[in-house]
A and B are shown apart, each in its own frame.
Chain A
Amino acid sequence: MKPELIEALGRIVGPRWLRHRRAELATYTMDGLPTRESYPGVVVMPKTAGEVCEVVRLLHLVDVPFVARGAGTGLSGGAVADPDAVLIALGRMNRILQVDPCRRRARVEPGVVNARLSEATAPHGLQYVPDPSSQAACTVGGNVAENAGGPHCLKYGVTTNHIVELEVVLPDGSTTRLGSRQGEPWGPDLVGLFVGSEGMFGIATEITVRLEPLPESVRTMLADFSTVRAASQAVSAIIAAGIVPAALEMMDRACVAAVEASIYAAGYPTDAAAVLLVELDGQTDAVEAEAKTVVSLLQERGARTVRSASTPADRARLWQGRKKAFGAMGRIAPDLAVQDAVVPRSALPDIMDRIEEIRLSYGLTISNVFHAGDGNLHPNISFDRRDPNVAGRVHDACRDIMAACVAAGGSITGEHGVGSDKIDYMPSIFDAETLGAMRAVRRVFDPAERANPGKVIPLHACREWRAARGVR
């Protein structure tokens, strides 16, 4: 990175908010993905949208790529920058600008931590629903870029269903507003297009979200099963009964074992093949009645025991293991490859069998914790990346799991994004035509492809790239 550029950037954000010495950059070499590491050229930490705009305009003029970064909890390598790029860390833009309880909207800066937003709206009886397990750390800006999900997205939808308006700085340094406070677009749905664009369309500098009322009553149930198949069938039975639980989460034996061996032990039965968490919310009478139905459905499908909780403390205990599952798995080995894939819900039992086969054939430790209600799997592989024998096996196992999910009619990612981690799998679900269209849309926002370069779209698989080189 040229010293003049570093100096010019320092003038915009103030020298205190710029990092360029190698030791200083070490904290920014990775995100939550353990397999990708790179030193950014320089890190800047703007405080305002105006500063972001100035930084981006400067980079546009000198033709230097940049990568936006929230909390760096992403699991697909999205917030990692190459040495020729500037990392724009947005953590200082952490103001909640407005909470409008009457209209059920909040306007925030991108660096606001997800959980803080719901804390701020709770006194008004409102919540910001999307609740990734990383919510204590991840930012709303990162959630927008990844279209993050969470356990409570089964009933209420993922990030994209809760974002109504965005102020974005485009890669040429211009600022524009997409969408409207009302949620009705002024034209085509560019908010919908921007959410999930993984930092490649520009930087969101202000985000208006929809808030939902806190439910009057919540009931959490924990059921354990002697087979994963029975648990999956219970999931289908609940949905088929017309009940839409707020959350429907499953953990397999390996996951339960990890949780129970950790400080997060939640009293889950370690001899169960699968544990299912079902949460219902709504009006008290409705929740009570639906809970009865759910309990009998769970029992009909072979639940061995069903525990039920409705006080916040008891519910928190049932949830604890689920919420801390990643942390617990992280204790098994130095590294954890948190995988993310989706299958149609009806394919759950078969895919779980297939993952078990893959685990055995590569001799790995895989624990599964996932959003069973929407078929969003997280087969997590515990390993040690310093062990040269294991890295290849982890990679191959992930590849096989992705292939199995795609073959089942699913997707390679349900909430963690493509980033650099999944880029090679993109051609397995999108043809060259579609990848080409995605790239063309990206170039509408970023003609020079300087925003988060090298992520999401495998250029060599796009139609126009192939055509230009005569590849068929």
Chain B
Amino acid sequence: MTGSITNREKFLNQISSQLGRQPITGKVERPVWRFQPQKEVLKNASQDELLTILKDQCLNIHTSLYITDKNNLSAVLKNEIEAYGGSVLAGKDNRFKEWGLDFLLNSEIEFEEWDYTQGRENILRAERAGIGLVVSELTLAESGTIVLYADKDKGRMVSFLPENLIALIPKSSLVPRMTQAAEQMRSEHLKGNQVSSCVQFITGPSNSADIELNLVVGVHGPVRATYIVINDL
């Protein structure tokens, strides 16, 4: 379905006339920028170096970090789930099975998957859940940020309404910074793959400094966050 556009011509003509020229009819090429400092940041860092940077950054963003491998993932995750307590909500994701997380799927613990056919019921589930479990698609080492693309199987609120957030991070998803994520999003778009309706860049739990600049962790979103890096993925 195509949406509507109202009042555009007059509005844009006012702009071009203020700028002292005719409305632009052709294509404007993006200039070759004179400065590109963002490309220099952590330019030649290896995956191991990026992991060290992520680890350090987690101290700044009130986030616990575990590093494990595929074999031990199940145990590490189970531990963390038990430590937080409450039921787990996650997107529908084949990777859980591939990564041997059977304990989630065979109801050893209280586990629910996002199910779009249930519509708004998903929101209520997310409200009830103690833990939101997500898989980071890209991980920005510099800022300690996970990137999530929402779709029908991965609702936006999985990462948000539960009080605790656990993110699984394949080590191969590490990139230096937001620059690489932006480039990847753009190149997908240029290939004709529509960008997700909601891309979340999440850096630790939610927080606010609105009261006397005192940091309060856990305002509207999760109060606690844990990252689990999987070394051999």
A binds B: no
